[in-house]
Amino acid sequence: MAKVTYHGDLKEVQGIPALAALLAAQTAPFDRGEWFAALAGHCGLKPVFALACEGDRAALLPLMEARDGLAALANWYSFRWHPLLSPGAGALLAAIARDLARRTHRLLLAPLPDESGEAQALARALRAAGWQVALHRCDSNHVLPVAGRSFATCLQSRPGALRSTLKRKRKRVEVVLHRRFDADAWAHYEAIYRASWKPEEGSPAFLRSFAETEGAAGRLRLGIGYAAGAVPRAIAAQLWSVEHGTAYIHKLAHDETAASLSPGTVLTAALLEEVIERDRVGLVDFGTGDDRYKRDWMDSVRPRYRIEALNPGNPRAWPGLARLAARRLARRGTGL
């Protein structure tokens, strides 16, 4: 039976070939070791990596210490979270699920995708290991499957009001796109964010570190929109990245004083054209949240799920188990 070990830093186990191969195979920013290290280094999260290896297979659950048990190593910057598994590593995931009962009384895991059955598979593994599991939808992920279409064709399927706005305002906003990190452009981004409707940035250091890393790897797509004039003024900014055929829209903001120019619409269109026509992506991912502007640009919605797992053998879990039983009883009583 595979041994399960726990680590606060992946550097402690970087010499394990199966783990190195697993991490090297990841194709999205939220699944890389660098992402987890940045969350720990800049966002104050305390990782607990649950690892099982056997031969050339590995299973890794990136977790963190939480106020009440362990949680997914993720925050507001994470579009998704899921176990990282080598092909055929289902037995290793089951071993971690069993061993975690010795480690904690509660797991809170989100936002889980289920396009390939990830959420359901993890819920089954935890239930088989004796956990009481509640699986609920917790968020939405808006995406645009490009399916070989041109930017012009994708634009034609957008709402008429959006296309009309773009036609009227496009020439009033000058767009500059950066594929490498540029300190001046980043200063514009930060100034625009402060002047926008957005709340205070959770971790500016994390975001800059991410932009620098993506820029060095050639994955960064940073767009700045300027109000046209004798002295162009930065009024909109968007942070995207492109990786393995997917464009991720991480952050966007515009100066509220320039809202009449619709700079966000113009900038989104410019970046969308860039990733479709130049990068040839197959999917554009607008992250989580059900904002109207995301529905205007994207075609499809994918659910995101949360797992709450409670360990019946640990007395600390009993109050949570009582609440879970009460919720299930209430749903049964309403026929839901």
pLDDT score recorded for residue 335: 54
Yes or no: say if 189 and 224 are a contact pair by the CB < 8 Å rule.
yes
Beta bridge partners of 284: 144, 247
Note whether residue 33 is domain-resident: yes
| Tens digit of each residue's pLDDT (9 = 90 or more) over 126-158 | 999 999 999 999 999 999 999 999 999 999 999
Where residue 284 falls among pLDDT bands split at 50, 70, 90? very high
Report the share of the chain in percent with pLDDT over 90. 92
Alpha-carbon span 217 to 195, nearest angstrom: 29
Same domain, 177 and 272: yes
Alpha-carbon span 275 to 160, nearest angstrom: 22
Tokens read off for 228: 């046209």
Note whether residue 80 is domain-resident: yes
Q: In a 3-state reduction of DSSP, which class is residue 6?
A: strand
Same domain, 327 and 245: no
For residue 227, give its domain range.
Answer: 148-281
Tokens read off for 124: 């089954």
pLDDT score recorded for residue 198: 86
Yes or no: say if 31 and 78 are a contact pair by the CB < 8 Å rule.
no
Q: How many domains does the chain divide into?
A: 2
Tokens read off for 192: 């625009």
Residue with tokens 């104050």: 44
pLDDT score recorded for residue 229: 77
Alpha-carbon span 301 to 318, nearest angstrom: 36
pLDDT score recorded for residue 328: 83
pLDDT score recorded for residue 136: 96
Note whether residue 259 is domain-resident: yes
Same domain, 135 and 230: no
Residue 333 has pLDDT above 70, yes or no: no
For the chain, strand residue ranges (E) read 4-7, 47-54, 57-66, 69-72, 84-85, 106-112, 132-145, 173-178, 220-227, 233-243, 246-254, 283-288, 300-310
Q: In a 3-state reduction of DSSP, which class is residue 323?
A: helix
Yes or no: say if 79 and 49 are a contact pair by the CB < 8 Å rule.
no
Alpha-carbon span 332 to 85, nearest angstrom: 35
User: Taking residues 80-107, what's their average pLDDT?
Assistant: 97
Angle at 51 between CA 50 and CA 53, to 5 degrees: 165
The whole-angstrom distance between residue 90's C-alpha and the CA centroid of its chain comes to 23
Note whether residue 289 is domain-resident: no
Helix%, strand%, coil% for the chain, nearest 5: 45, 30, 30
Please list, in sequence order, all residues whose beta carbon lies within 8 angstroms of the beta carbon of residue 199, skipping any fewer than 6 positions away. none
Note whether residue 167 is domain-resident: yes
The residue type at 252: L
Three-state secondary structure string covering 202-214: CCHHHHHHHHHHH
Residue 1 has pLDDT above 90, yes or no: no
CA of 184: how far to CAs of 96, 181, 224, 227, 231, in Å? 46, 9, 11, 17, 16
What is the CATH classification number for the domain harbouring 16?
3.40.630
pLDDT score recorded for residue 334: 58
User: Taking residues 70-96, what's their average pLDDT?
Assistant: 97
Same domain, 121 and 159: no
Tokens read off for 236: 């909109």
Alpha-carbon span 123 to 64, nearest angstrom: 19
The whole-model pTM stands at: 0.95
Same domain, 105 and 205: no
Same domain, 111 and 167: no
Alpha-carbon span 229 to 234, nearest angstrom: 11
Alpha-carbon span 240 to 268, nearest angstrom: 10
| Tens digit of each residue's pLDDT (9 = 90 or more) over 20-60 | 999 999 999 999 999 999 999 999 999 999 999 999 999 99
Same domain, 187 and 83: no
What is the CATH classification number for the domain harbouring 266?
3.40.630.30
pLDDT score recorded for residue 231: 77
